[in-house]
Amino acid sequence: MDNRKTHLKTFWNRRFLLYELVKKGIKLKYRRSYLGILWSLLEPILTTIVLTVVFGTLFGNKSRDYPLYILCGRLLYSFFSQGTKSSSKSIRANASMIKKVYVPKYLYPLSCVLYNYVIFLISLIVMLPLAIYCRVSLTWHIVEIIVPLIELFLLTFGVGMLLATVNVFFRDMEYIWEVLLMLIMYSSAIFYYPERLMNSGYDWILKFNPLYCIIQSFRNAMFGEMMNTQLVGYAGVFSLTTLIVGIIVFYKKQDKFILQI
């Protein structure tokens, strides 16, 4: 109990540093960019238009709400991808500071996830006008959207902690993760309806993919449907377990970081 209180006190005392790291991450992301934070709104819109034209033609999806369906998956996957990739590089990217002053090392991957999460939340603004265009009526189920958003943050931070640890000792992990992210993207039903995969007998790929479960729960809330409790429960347990494992692994290996960076 005393050990927990010490960690909480340390975190509280360093909260201003965390804030500065988050602010720095946002500034660096849009450095030398004329559009700045506005790009976080334009990029998903432009990407959705391209994906709707391409995959709508390829799969014959002509339903009016298909663009919103794509945007839901695209935004959530984009945050997961950017958050985990930046977290994996966080320790090495801040090697000079780690060697000079003592700072709780978990603040670096945490700040990477947080600043990407802030940008992600801002980008969600574009969903409202698109929902109006797609004639999707929002219901009280929209309040349930907080559940997949929390699960997504926990999953991203947990995976980010694991990647940050592994990447210190095995630098090629970031390149391997790029390939794995591609597999995760295609197994998350971002561009296609899950029924297509279920009819092929490979529906287990979706059921065991926590990111798909989170994306589907998010879509249910956006489209005014009740969320699937099995998907929500599985994603929640998986995300929380990943976070706990990530923290434990990071904590046990953090004293050896200084020897590798």
**pLDDT per residue over 48-69, tens digit each?**
888 888 877 766 677 888 899 9
Cβ–Cβ < 8 Å for 114, 22? yes
pLDDT tens profile 120-151 = 999 999 898 888 888 888 888 889 999 999 99
* pLDDT given at position 39: 74
CA distance 24 to 3: 30
Nearest to 76 by CA among 215, 241, 180: 215
Cβ–Cβ < 8 Å for 86, 156? no
Confidence of residue 71 (pLDDT cuts 50, 70, 90): very high
Q: SS3 of 148, please?
A: helix
Asked whether residue 31 carries a pLDDT value surpassing 80, the answer given is no
Averaged pLDDT for residues 152-168 = 96
Cβ contacts of 74 within 8 Å, gap of 6 or more: 44, 47, 48, 51, 190
Backbone angles phi, psi at 94, to 5 degrees: -110, 25
Nearest to 234 by CA among 204, 214, 215: 214
Asked whether residue 83 carries a pLDDT value surpassing 90, the answer given is yes
